[in-house]
Amino acid sequence: MRKNILLKIGVVALVLFYFPVWASSGKITGSVKVKGLRSPANILVYLTKAPTVAMDLDAASFVMDQKNLTFFPHVLPIPVGATVLFPNNDEVDHNVFSLSRAQKFNLGSYSFGESKTMRFDTPGVVELRCDVHAEMLAYILVMKNPYYTVTNEKGGFEIPDVKLPDQKGIKVVFDLPPGKYTLKTWHKKLKSKKETVTVTEQGGASIQLKLTRGTSGVLYKR
């Protein structure tokens, strides 16, 4: 009997010992409502300042696909210093370029099955266009820290985002330490919003945002 209780205590202690990170993990979850826009998806939500995290950017793969005469995804946030692959999966030529201040470039014209790469070293908004198809438009958002995400179809989001390049399996480094953070949004057609979020010792924080149409600001003040 006594042995049994000791065993139980042992198991409980073991569980507590092995999962201390889960208990204190800091996540910011929330949802965004929009006025004057069909969908609350594809809105960037990010922390302006956050702890730096060592990431294996070489192991990470960021892809801006070109298929059915559109870029996919429409909004692609990446950590600064990351390289993006631009495959052409259409049977017509595409010519990706950008005139944005954060990164001006022109990949030239290339055909089906071919791919080009580009490294992004300056934080900010990079608007992508195609010289052949005027309707093609997408955004690469070059971020200073890995605490960013993009809203889903319902406007929901979670920071840190598990889809981030932490494929080495060390997810704990992404959890937010307790503290006050400035959370911001960015979408080309919506007024950017800024909110202070407090992550407590007990864990995460939750936030609801309402966005209206307007001109977006810059990602970071210079």
DSSP structural state of residue 7: H
Least spacing, CB of residue 94 vs Cu ion, in Å: 4
Least spacing, CB of residue 14 vs Cu ion, in Å: 57
State both tokens at 22. Answer: 């889960």
Least spacing, CB of residue 114 vs Cu ion, in Å: 13
State both tokens at 222. Answer: 């210079």
Least spacing, CB of residue 40 vs Cu ion, in Å: 28
Closer CB to Cu ion, residue 129 or residue 184? 129
Q: Which stretch binds Cu ion (CB under 5 A): 89-97, 109-117, 137-145, 198-206?
A: 89-97
CA distances, 222 to each of 52, 89, 142, 217 (Å): 19, 37, 14, 12
What are the residue ranges of helices labelled H in 38-186?
Answer: none
Q: Which stretch binds Cu ion (CB under 5 A): 1-9, 70-78, 90-98, 141-149?
A: 90-98
Among 45, 76, 94, 141, which residue interacts with Cu ion (rule: CB under 5 A)?
94
Non-local (6+) Cβ contacts of 74 within 8 A are: 42, 137, 138, 139
Closer CB to Cu ion, residue 9 or residue 85? 85
Residues in the chain: 222
Contact characters 165-184, Cu ion, x per CB under 5 A: --------------------
Least spacing, CB of residue 96 vs Cu ion, in Å: 8
CB atoms within 10 A of CB 45: 28
Non-local (6+) Cβ contacts of 6 within 8 A are: none
How many residues sit close enough to Cu ion to count as binding (CB under 5 A)? 5
Contact characters 44-83, Cu ion, x per CB under 5 A: ----------------------------------------
Q: Select from 207, 178, 166, 131 the least CA-distant residue to 26.
A: 178
The count of C-alpha atoms lying within 13 angstroms of the C-alpha of 33, restricted to the half-sphere facing its C-beta, is 5
Non-local (6+) Cβ contacts of 35 within 8 A are: 210, 211, 212, 213
Question: Closest residue (Cβ) to Cu ion?
Answer: 130
Closer CB to Cu ion, residue 57 or residue 132? 132
Least spacing, CB of residue 136 vs Cu ion, in Å: 5
Write out the binding residues for Cu ion, residues 126-155 only, by CB under 5 A. 130, 132-133, 136
Residues that bind Cu ion (CB under 5 A): 94, 130, 132-133, 136
